[in-house]
Amino acid sequence: MQHKYKSYNIVITSWANLNPDGFRPEYRISMKAPSLSQSLKINQTFPTRKEAEDYALQVAKKWIDERGSDHPSTLIERGGDVSRKHLKKDSVF
């Protein structure tokens, strides 16, 4: 499932667990200029694929909204904490 939000591309995927707990979502956010990549597997299960993907989309949008315009132009993030409000300017994950 792919979405555009503000100037970001969000790709949502989910998969069924091996045991019958439900589905686990993951999101990937990208932006071409300035170069940005963020992905996070969410360690929570949902009864349906749709619920998992809807939740991941909301978390991704929240991450984008909390960033605002305060970000370095060449930052590449991987597996970041969605609860962080501000990142250090020289941080690379």
Residue with the two structure tokens 């990208």: 30
Q: Is residue 84 part of a domain?
A: no
Q: Is residue 85 part of a domain?
A: no
Q: Is residue 87 part of a domain?
A: no
User: In CATH, what number is assigned to the domain containing residue 60?
Assistant: 3.30.160
Q: Is residue 90 part of a domain?
A: no
Query: Where does the pLDDT of residue 32 fall: very low under 50, low under 70, confident under 90, or very high at 90 and above?
Result: confident
Query: Where does the pLDDT of residue 25 fall: very low under 50, low under 70, confident under 90, or very high at 90 and above?
Result: very high
Q: How far apart are CA 25 and CA 52, in angstroms?
A: 5
Residue 57's domain comprises 2-67
Q: Is residue 8 part of a domain?
A: yes
Q: Is residue 52 part of a domain?
A: yes
On the CB side of 90, CA atoms within 13 Å amount to 0
**Number of domains making up the chain:** 1
Q: Model-level pTM greater than 0.85?
A: no
